[in-house]
Amino acid sequence: MTDAATGFSHRFRATELDARAALCEIIGTLQARGLVQEQIGAVEIALAEVINNIVEHAYAGTAPGDIVVDVAFREAILKLTTTDGGKPLPDGRLPEGRPADVTGAVDDLPEGGFGWFMIRTLARDISYARENDRNRLELTFDVVPAVDRH
């Protein structure tokens, strides 16, 4: 059963500064709920990349709309669901997220393209759907020990 008391939701405008504030608030709440630091780090990295992608790509060339992040705990799983009203992902599906090639000369090193690889590596599961003209992305993470539930 989903423990409604421990879930929470956050809605904010898709700008870099609002994204930073929202991420800090969500991560702060997870810390307050007793998630261990290593897991917090993984969640923060992955969620930051998801949100940055929405800000930079989904809403590219349009006025920044909203982003909603729903956080839910279920047994030893943390589920983050983001929705936004921006453009769909290219080809309507999750990018492959191959690792960036860092073996070349310094001048050829990538300065981007790390995001989806990190998201895919850090999350246990990831799924994407386009529903009612909104993008819906679900990320799950294993969390151990169980989050303190009050």
Q: Decide: is 100 part of the binding site for other proteins (CB under 8 A).
A: yes
| Nearest-approach distance from CB 123 to other proteins, in angstroms | 12
DSSP state, residue 75:
T
Q: Decide: is 16 part of the binding site for other proteins (CB under 8 A).
A: yes
Q: Decide: is 81 part of the binding site for other proteins (CB under 8 A).
A: no
Residue from 7, 121, 144, 146 touching other proteins (CB under 8 A): that is 121
Q: Decide: is 102 part of the binding site for other proteins (CB under 8 A).
A: yes
Helix or strand holding residue 136 (H, E): strand 134-142
Distance CA 36, CA 44 (A): 12
74 vs 97, beta carbon nearer other proteins: 97
Subset of residues 24 to 43 that bind other proteins, contact rule: CB under 8 A: 37-38, 40-42
Q: Contact 34/148 with Cβ under 8 angstroms?
A: yes
Residue from 115, 135, 137, 141 touching other proteins (CB under 8 A): that is 115
- The interaxial angle of helices 16-32 and 37-53, nearest 10 deg, is 160
Q: Decide: is 49 part of the binding site for other proteins (CB under 8 A).
A: yes
Q: Which among 58-66, 88-96, 98-106, 129-137 is the span making contact with other proteins, rule CB under 8 A?
A: 98-106
Q: Contact 78/71 with Cβ under 8 angstroms?
A: yes
> By the criterion CB under 8 A, which residues form the site for other proteins?
16-17, 19-20, 37-38, 40-42, 44-45, 48-49, 52, 55-56, 99-100, 102, 106-107, 109-115, 117-118, 121-122
